[in-house]
């Protein structure tokens, strides 16, 4: 794969998939979503992978997928899972694949957007609100370390974020 892809990173609910699809349409570049590619390969949903194989196996699938993406040709918009930049080797792989964008989001905004979403196994616990705060506190330095461009998305409409992306990538 070429090294000039546009990689979208950020916490669950930060808008990676929605904005990635819209940007793909605007820039006329194909769209890939790492979660979807993993689901296709595994033949089961993300909650099923977590339940039957565990989080560690899912993390390994993410790392392997990033290696495979390097073999593809063409330029893509790539939306990643919220945990993809956590491993150092993944951060390096992301940087090699292209320009890494971080959608930075507050715990309150995440809670409003996806707090009750059953498709996020990490949030199926007694206190998902606290879980979001803890995960974000732990992950933010890693997200920022991987990012070439940081966009604060709290309080912004998708159209506004899309415009920032277009200004940077057109």
Binding positions for ligand S3P, rule: CB under 6 A: 12, 16, 35, 46, 81-83, 120-122
Interatomic CA distance for residues 47 and 95, integer angstroms: 28
Strands (E), the chain: 5-10, 31-33, 77-79, 98-104, 149-152
Q: Please report how many Cα atoms fall inside a 13 Å half-sphere around the Cα of residue 125, on the Cβ side.
A: 11
- Phi and psi at 109, nearest 5°, equal -65, -40
Nearer to ligand S3P, 28 or 55 (CB): 55
Q: Please report how many Cα atoms fall inside a 13 Å half-sphere around the Cα of residue 139, on the Cβ side.
A: 26
Nearer to ligand S3P, 117 or 166 (CB): 117
Nearer to ligand S3P, 82 or 107 (CB): 82
- In the complex, the smallest distance separating the C-beta of residue 86 from ligand S3P, rounded to whole angstroms, is 7
- In the complex, the smallest distance separating the C-beta of residue 73 from ligand S3P, rounded to whole angstroms, is 25
- In the complex, the smallest distance separating the C-beta of residue 20 from ligand S3P, rounded to whole angstroms, is 10
- In the complex, the smallest distance separating the C-beta of residue 19 from ligand S3P, rounded to whole angstroms, is 12
Give 100's strand partners: 7
Q: Please report how many Cα atoms fall inside a 13 Å half-sphere around the Cα of residue 19, on the Cβ side.
A: 28
Nearer to ligand S3P, 58 or 98 (CB): 58
């Amino acid at each position: 794969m070429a090294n000039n892809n546009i990689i979208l990173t950020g916490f669950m609910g930060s808008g990676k998939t929605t904005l990635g699809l819209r940007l793909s349409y605007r820039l006329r570049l194909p769209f890939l979503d790492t979660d979807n590619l993993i689901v296709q390969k595994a033949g089961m949903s993300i909650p099923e992978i977590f339940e039957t194989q565990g989080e560690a196996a899912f993390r390994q699938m993410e790392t392997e997928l990033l290696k495979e993406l390097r073999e593809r040709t063409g330029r893509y918009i790539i939306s990643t899972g919220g945990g993809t930049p956590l491993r150092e080797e993944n951060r390096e792989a992301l940087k090699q694949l292209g320009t890494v964008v971080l959608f930075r989001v507050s715990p309150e905004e995440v809670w409003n957007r996806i707090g009750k979403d059953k498709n996020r196994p990490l949030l199926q616990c007694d206190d998902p609100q606290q879980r979001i705060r803890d995960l974000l506190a732990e992950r933010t330095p890693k997200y920022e370390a991987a990012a070439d461009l940081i966009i604060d998305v709290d309080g912004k409409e998708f159209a506004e974020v899309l415009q920032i992306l277009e200004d940077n990538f057109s």
